[in-house]
Structure 1
């Protein structure tokens, strides 16, 4: 058990280190070839912060660990809104841009509802099992493509879509390629260590892979989003914090769950409906809270409420 815990922690360290190096080196390489900062932000940085979830889910899908796949996606989305935004809003109230209010947050809520629709075949299609099929995965990928095209169009119109990217200095082309390979290696080895040892711990403690995925794995893979959002809030770049989280949720649902279900159709545990509904409620509360108080913002008391709800959700998981 102790060895599994050590290897799990090592996996998270490698995963976060790999993602960080991959983003820095790839951003520098793209800048060396004259690619605009806004394009780097929409592609390399956005994909990089979701790389931990992607790698873990690919390994889980290949291993046929459907509960880990669903648990990581739903757990990350729930932690992003209730946990990360809750913590960020407690540090400093979060103002929200118009695009985020009317397009990106509703789209993330739509993504949460879409998971419920795709995952309830027994209720809606009268099937004998609930699962997200390969065709469902293709639908999710199509939604992701639309989201990506939307971001590109917005950037072409000169509107702010997210963080202004600071390109790391001192990266030559050769050095960038070296660190890209190192980052990819960290992601691959870290992801495999996490999946293998999380499954092992679940068996040792008599817990389901769903619970491990919803708690330890999802929080661990969301560390880049947490670090980015807290750093942004401390610099008073409050719109970045909420845009980062909402964008990550859209990536998790449309891209990561889509790719995972294409690799292996995802069997849905009936107990996952609690997590799916919690994900919907979190998205709905975020949308509603923006319109309470003065202006479009997430206030400190609302952040505290989101964080308290997350603690309550974790307690419910543990006691169940």
Structure 2
């Protein structure tokens, strides 16, 4: 048990550090190739912050751990909205840009609702079990392709192109070395997390679902938490909310889509509670942005987010 916990922590360290170095090395290479900053932001940085979830889910999918796949995606999205946006808005009210208000937040809600549709085989099709199939995974990936095209079109806006994007400053040789090491850290860290999380769950009599919704999803969401809090401290609140909303869309359309394409994901009856919580989080974000004065998430709304997450966590662990 002690060894499993130590290896799980080591896995998170390798995962987060590997993702950070991967982004820094890849962005350095992109700069050397004269790729514009905004393109780096849309690809390397955006993909890099969600690399921990991707690594864990791909490894879980290859191992056939469907419960871990769905739990990590849903748990990350619930944590992102209720905790990251909740805490950030309590620090400083989050003003929302027009594009985020009218396109990205509704798209985030659509992504949450799409999980309800693709997971409800018994209810909609009269099947014997619920499953996210390979064909449904490919449909999610197509949605993600549309989201990428939207981002490319937004990036052509002069205001977006002028935004500062973090890039690395390594030599080519150092960048290649760190790129390889970063990828190795992601793979090894993801493997340690999946195998030891399952081991810990079995030792405590917990399900893979509960471990995935709590320890694993919170751990893989650390990059988004760090990025959003840093943005709020600099009063760049639009970056904080855009980062979370984009990550939620990314998690469902790309990570769940790719995972289901690798190996179909079984959906157990208890998972529908988590699916409902994910829809509630996206719906409340949509409603909060349109309530009150202006387009923003205020401090009192952020406190509601945090309280809802504490209730959700209590339900998972004690009921």
* Shared fold per TM-score greater than 0.5: yes
Alignment match, 2:275: 276
Misfit runs of 4+, over 3 Å:
none
Q: Deviations over 1:125-184 (max 9, x none)?
A: 100000000000000000000000111011123352896213233x11111111111111
Q: Deviations over 1:185-223 (max 9, x none)?
A: 110110000000000001001111000000000000000
Alignment match, 1:211: 210
SS at match of 2:160: coil
Q: Deviations over 1:24-74 (max 9, x none)?
A: 111111011100000000000000001000000011001111000000000
SS at match of 1:267: strand
Q: Conserved in 2, the CA contact under 8 Å of 1:151 and 1:161?
A: no
Alignment match, 1:76: 76
Alignment match, 2:2: 2
Alignment match, 1:301: 300
Alignment match, 1:41: 41
CA distance in structure 2 between the aligned counterparts of 1:167 and 1:44, rounded to whole angstroms: 9
Alignment match, 1:195: 194
Q: Conserved in 2, the CA contact under 8 Å of 1:105 and 1:246?
A: yes
Alignment match, 2:224: 225
Q: Conserved in 2, the CA contact under 8 Å of 1:59 and 1:195?
A: yes
Judged with a 3 Å threshold, the aligned counterparts in structure 2 of structure 1 residues 156 and 137 are, in CA distance, closer, same or farther, namely: same
1:182 aligned onto 2:181: yes
Give me the CA root mean square deviation: 1.1
User: Number of residues paired by the alignment?
Assistant: 319
Alignment match, 1:319: 318
Judged with a 3 Å threshold, the aligned counterparts in structure 2 of structure 1 residues 20 and 153 are, in CA distance, closer, same or farther, namely: same
Q: Conserved in 2, the CA contact under 8 Å of 1:96 and 1:242?
A: yes
CA distance in structure 2 between the aligned counterparts of 1:299 and 1:164, rounded to whole angstroms: 26
CA distance in structure 2 between the aligned counterparts of 1:52 and 1:285, rounded to whole angstroms: 26
Q: Conserved in 2, the CA contact under 8 Å of 1:19 and 1:183?
A: yes
Gaps in structure 1 of 5+ consecutive residues: none
Q: Conserved in 2, the CA contact under 8 Å of 1:162 and 1:243?
A: no
Alignment match, 2:139: 139
CA distance in structure 2 between the aligned counterparts of 1:250 and 1:114, rounded to whole angstroms: 11
Alignment match, 1:251: 250
Q: Conserved in 2, the CA contact under 8 Å of 1:108 and 1:283?
A: yes
Gaps in structure 2 of 5+ consecutive residues: none
Alignment match, 1:261: 260
Alignment match, 2:240: 241
CA distance in structure 1 between the aligned counterparts of 2:109 and 2:55, rounded to whole angstroms: 24
CA distance in structure 2 between the aligned counterparts of 1:192 and 1:75, rounded to whole angstroms: 19
CA distance in structure 1 between the aligned counterparts of 2:116 and 2:161, rounded to whole angstroms: 28
Alignment match, 1:172: 171
Alignment match, 2:151: 151
CA distance in structure 1 between the aligned counterparts of 2:316 and 2:162, rounded to whole angstroms: 34
SS at match of 1:31: helix
SS at match of 2:129: coil
